[in-house]
A and B are shown apart, each in its own frame.
Chain A
């Protein structure tokens, strides 16, 4: 998977390496050609084709709407069916001509018309207004088209529709778990594995996160318990660990998409946990229900695997430490000491240490997202702690002083620590 930022950086590096004599001009050309081949040709024509198709579909929809009452119902139905057939015929012809992206755009248009057709048929035939049911039908149509026509656009529509269906049914049924989601999600995930498309990877990972996030049930909306935050924190940690394992071992691309969403979840949940120490009532223990323990077990197993199987230990070990420190935060609340000063100091220290470890992992592994997430968490934590005085101002001053001194000491020892973790290979003497 080649991002545009990687390609820009590679181009800049190639120019520098050729100038420095590290890479020959011929090798640079070969590398550029290889990258261009992996990128798979220009995307612009397919993208413009997709937009054009969407505009034509919108034009037809507006025309139909303008003459809605005059057009007999069966004619409308046949028109919708014909529009789908035409889209797939165009997709067939484009695929035969070798334009995979153009074919993908045509299939995407076909699935969109199928979705619009469902709404129109619902209106024409007075079907019950069941939008989650409609979303499931769209998801099924999208999945079929994504599999048979190898369309990424159809898969994107299917994943979004699956989420809409799961959320709708979850709300309707008072937060009952919908395990049937997996029956449709797992094939979608399998398809996403095959695709070299970053949007698809992110959507697939996000769809799984949405469903897993809803597992605790309607209590999230009604009787809120901080056990939910602990569950989401563990889930975020699991995503970060999975993303890191994939990055460390060179793929698959789908799993690497777990990293940014896991980091985002960690930022939100740890920020929430930290804010609790500002208020005595909010710092109450909360409950760790079975689901939280399951999430903790899965996350700790993934973290242990990351640390044990790491190829680049100076990236994986600080990250594993950051995750363990983050997982410790809710346990401080469960112990009930977070209402006292000692507990508050421990929570604040754990959050700051976790943020620092994230930043170290990012810097050591050259992963900007980790560095950024660690830095943002650190900054947000300082802001939250400064927002309201915990204890006296002198206590607060002492805490920041000790934390700052500890960080400076860590920074000075970091170089030696990294050198010990990954000792440089001794240079071979020239023969």
Chain B
């Protein structure tokens, strides 16, 4: 019958001590790399201010956290060309409005050419037929848009405080996010009435 070289026989040639050390190192480096990747965004990323709409604050497995939605979570895609699909990775260009808050000014599959203080943030299309979210937090279902997730949609808070943030008037909550040069984003500060409520240290 079929003869396959045994993986166990191959690896047995390496001394057990080395194998144990390499396994431990790989598992630990994997975890530390996640933290470091996050810290690098927070340390060196460009800051953008985002209006928020907190909703639905609880998840059974991950403790208390606030689920956040932003006006930039829904993006208008130019008509023409190949339509976007759910799950696709996209790059959204962020411009600043008169008050300094970020607003989406374009979406593309490739890294866009930008000018001035525009920031590009990477996201993933979660829905292609979402209702538009206006600056005041109201929804407008007459205009269909892409819903894009940026990895800024959840923020863990001390137990019991998620509800309090959720109950706060949506216009008063603001997020400052850091966006790296590759478009990866992380929440840096959470503010209510312009005052920092939570600030995120790199480590």
Residues of A within 8 A of B (CB): 68-69, 73-74, 77, 80-81, 84-85, 88-89, 91-92, 95-96, 107, 110-111, 114, 117-119, 121-130, 137, 140-141, 144-145, 147-150, 169, 172-174, 176, 190-191, 193-195, 246, 249-252, 255
Contacts and interface: CB of A to CB of B under 8 A. Distances in A.
B20 A137 contact: no
B34 interface: yes
Nearest to A142: B27
Contacts of A147: 7, 11
B12 interface: yes
B22 interface: yes
A92 B17 contact: yes
B19 interface: yes
A172 B124 CA distance: 9
A413 B184 CA distance: 72
A91 B20 contact: yes
Of B27, B35, B154, most buried by chain A (CB within 10 Å of CB) is: B27
A81 B26 CA distance: 11
Contacts of A81: 28, 31-32
Contact of B27 (A77, A110, A124, A174): A110
Most buried by B among A69, A111, A118, A173: A173
Contacts of A73: 201, 203
Contact of A123 (B7, B19, B62, B86): B62
B7 A88 contact: no
A127 B20 contact: no
Contacts of A190: 4, 7
Contact of B1 (A74, A91, A246): A246
B80 interface: no
Contact of A127 (B26, B28, B38): B38
Interface stretch (B98-106, B109-117, B139-147, B155-163): B155-163
B24 A84 contact: yes
B135 interface: no
Contacts of B187: 126
Interface in B148-177: 149-156, 158-159
A118 B156 contact: no
Given A121-B35, A148-B20, 16 more contacts: A92-B16, A111-B27, A114-B31, A125-B35, A126-B187, A128-B154, A129-B59, A141-B27, A147-B11, A150-B11, A172-B124, A173-B88, A176-B87, A194-B6, A194-B9, A195-B8
A141 B150 CA distance: 26
Interface in B1-60: 1-2, 4, 6-9, 11-12, 14, 16-17, 19-20, 22-24, 26-28, 30-32, 34-35, 38, 59
A252 B12 CA distance: 21
Interface string B83-100: 001111000000000000
A173 B85 contact: yes
A350 to B, nearest CB: 32
Given A124-B156, A128-B153, A172 B27 contact: no
A169 B124 CA distance: 12
B200 interface: yes
B99 to A, nearest CB: 25
Nearest to B149: A128
Contacts of A77: 31-32, 35
A84 B154 contact: no
11 contacts: A77-B35, A81-B32, A92-B16, A110-B24, A145-B27, A147-B7, A148-B22, A149-B19, A169-B87, A251-B1, A255-B2
